[in-house]
Amino acid sequence: MAETRSFRQRLLAGDKLVGTFLKTPTSHATEIVAGLGFDFVVIDQEHAPFDRTTTDIALMAARGSNIPALVRVSGPDTILSVLDCGATGILVPHVASADYAREVAALCRYRNGRRGYATSTRAGGYTAVPMWQHIRASDDTVTVIAQIEDPEALDRIDTIAAVEGIDSLFIGRGDLTAAFGDETPNPPAIRAAVETITAAARKANKPVSVYVGGRPEAEWLQSQGATTFILNSDQGFLRQAATRGLAEMREVLG
């Protein structure tokens, strides 16, 4: 039987991966998305009401459903807790310097890093996993994705991309669009930012991760070199399906 590759191995190999954001702090969306065949989920602590307990529940559901689960952390202070709870990795907002990139990468690694050690956690099998087995497995598989979403990060993008331990660059087009303040559709500055980030990723041999709302964005960003796609969210899918269902009923009822 062929060895199953980890999410990190697939990401670094440039496999085409599709996940979605989880915004609703329950276990149910995780289970539903896993059953549909998505490659991964991203639990959103930054812009959704996930606390440590609800994050733990969503991660338990992910493990039970056999789907990799990243957490978009609210900041470096939550990195240890989500890794202890069994997160596959983290998506870190506002990585705007190489120093900060090195800090978050170190917080995810035991060897040559600063991750606090424990095997009394889900990640450590509640003490069932021997110490060095846990350390090796964690250091090999925990995924670290840096979200590039600040204009100042664009001036430092080559040094950020080159940081050891940063596995992928995530292009935060929403925050960049807000920061540049151009209200026109498809702002030239954002297209230029995408090209700048993807060029730095190619130079550093790092995969590019992106958020997409649908096919047109996905086609464009794939042409720019993106390989990991976060499609919509559980809330977005709920709104789309509810809107479509209600429109059909209004049509039936006249």
The answer to whether the beta carbons of residues 144 and 89 sit under 8 Å apart is: yes
47 is catalytic: yes
SS3 at position 122: coil
| Distance (Å, whole) CA 247 – CA 54 | 33
Among the listed residues 28, 47, 94, 134, the single catalytic one is 47
Tally Cβ neighbours within 10 Å of residue 254: 4
The answer to whether the beta carbons of residues 32 and 65 sit under 8 Å apart is: no
The answer to whether the beta carbons of residues 191 and 173 sit under 8 Å apart is: no
What is the per-residue burial (b if ≥16 Cβ within 10 Å, else e) of 17-35? bebbbbbbbebebbeebbe
| Distance (Å, whole) CA 146 – CA 208 | 10
Closest CA to 78 of 102, 58, 108, 121: 108
Question: Which positions are catalytic?
Answer: 47
